[in-house]
Amino acid sequence: MTEPLVIGFETSCDETGVGVVRGHTLLADALATSVAEHERFGGVVPEIASRAHLEAMVPTVHRALAEAGVAPSDVDAVAVTAGPGLTGALLVGLAAAKAYALALDKPLYGVNHLAAHVAVDELQHGRLAEPSLALLVSGGHSSLLLVPDLAREVTPLGRTIDDAAGEAFDKVARVLGMPFPGGPPIDRAAREGDPAAIDFPRGLTGPRDAPYDVSFSGLKTAVARWVEARRRAGEPVPVADVAASFQEAVADVLTAKAVRACRDHGVDHLVLGGGVAANSRLRALAEERCAAAGIVLRVPSPRLCTDNGAMVAALGSRLVAAGVAPSAPDLGADSSLPVETVSR
């Protein structure tokens, strides 16, 4: 029997994503983004993102279906991010997905954005080992998850207590005069820098700190103080060294906590996800430390680490295969959907 064809909708932030998968096979990953419209504001403006989603929605569906080479009537199930995310943005994708499900007379699955970031790896590396650990780091989230059953059970182990990792990248980039979003320019600048040049603080790594929670607010402030002190003294700012040392502090804390969580829970598979997982130093250090600890590391390609519709379709496909019940007709969006709620 052919595996089900699932279309997935993602609009939780500034990317309008529509993906199509069959089983674990990626057929289409159409994306529109409003990131350029947010740049001059230094962060995502929810109303601008929501307007852009509406404008892009139907054309993005057309691109996805064309790329997949399928007709709307071929679709077996519709999946959509129901949260967490920006309410106004989420509602555009949710309403569109509900309408397509109604018009195509197919089941609808409202899914968790974070679980979808884990599921996307199945499109590249096949079925996930269960249990796995997942480290999800992006502009909106920083979470360490235990995943006994991706279709039904995801347990949060730790999260950021202040800024998301991606926010810290954005703010440090701003301090260094780099564009938004800050991840790519910091990664580029860091290649020329010395990661040991400045000993920036590693938050929440003391013996009494929560073992799996992270904090980036103190790090961000430490970087700003260091740079501002240089500027006040009239000295040049070694941008590459600052970028490399900051990035090292983030990658060090995240990978150390992820490896420790694997050990503590007897789990030997780690999945990375989220936009910050596209960072080259985080990927390299995770590889190094996982290899040393005997942990199998799975990292999707950078394109699939950032928000997209294929990840939502991938989780939808997993839910269909697991026989999970579809969402009720009055499905809504929940901007703070708990990570334990894989689908609703």
Partner 1 sequence: MLVLALDTATPTLVAGVARRSAAGDAEVLAERAVPSGNRHAELLVPTVREVLAAAGLALADVDVVVAGLGPGPFTGLRVGVVTAAALADARGVPAVGVCSLDAVGSGARTVVTDARRREVYWAAYDAEGARVDGPGVVRPEEAGLTGPLVGDPRFAERLGAPVEPAEVTTAGLLHAAAGPLADPSSAGPLVPLYLRRPDAVPPTSFKPVTTA
Give residues in contact with partner 1 (CB under 8 A): 40-42, 45, 47-48, 50-51, 54-55, 57-58, 61-62, 72, 87-88, 91-92, 94-104, 174-175, 221, 224-225, 228-229, 232, 329-333
Select 50 or 143, whichever has its Cβ closest to partner 1.
Answer: 50
- Min dist. Cβ of residue 49 to partner 1 (A): 9
Q: Give the residue from 30, 81, 18, 63 showing the smallest Cα distance to 315.
A: 81
Select 103 or 322, whichever has its Cβ closest to partner 1.
Answer: 103
187 carries a ligand binding annotation:
yes
Select 57 or 244, whichever has its Cβ closest to partner 1.
Answer: 57
Select 106 or 117, whichever has its Cβ closest to partner 1.
Answer: 106
- Min dist. Cβ of residue 85 to partner 1 (A): 13
- Min dist. Cβ of residue 38 to partner 1 (A): 9
Select 61 or 136, whichever has its Cβ closest to partner 1.
Answer: 61
The DSSP string of 304-325 is: HHSS-HHHHHHHHHHHHHHTPP
Cα separation, 51 vs 53, in Å, equals 5
279 carries a ligand binding annotation:
yes
Q: Looking up tokens 């699955």, which residue turns up?
A: 109
- Min dist. Cβ of residue 158 to partner 1 (A): 26
Judging by beta carbons within 10 Å of its beta carbon (0-12, 13-18, 19+), is residue 214 exposed, middle or buried?
Answer: buried
> What separation in angstroms does the CA of 155 have from each of 115, 133, 290?
10, 10, 21
112 carries a ligand binding annotation:
no
Look up residue 251 and give its two tokens: 């990658």
62 carries a ligand binding annotation:
no
139 carries a ligand binding annotation:
yes
Judging by beta carbons within 10 Å of its beta carbon (0-12, 13-18, 19+), is residue 268 exposed, middle or buried?
Answer: middle
117 carries a ligand binding annotation:
yes
- Min dist. Cβ of residue 152 to partner 1 (A): 24
Helices (H), the chain: 35-38, 46-68, 87-104, 113-119, 122-125, 165-175, 183-190, 217-232, 239-265, 280-293, 302-305, 309-322
Select 48 or 293, whichever has its Cβ closest to partner 1.
Answer: 48
Is 164:238 a contact under the CB 8 Å cutoff? no
137 carries a ligand binding annotation:
yes
- Residues of each annotated binding site: 113, 117, 136-140, 170, 183, 187, 279, 307
- Residues of each annotated binding site for substrate: 136-140, 170, 183, 187, 279
- Residues of each annotated binding site for Fe cation: 113, 117, 307
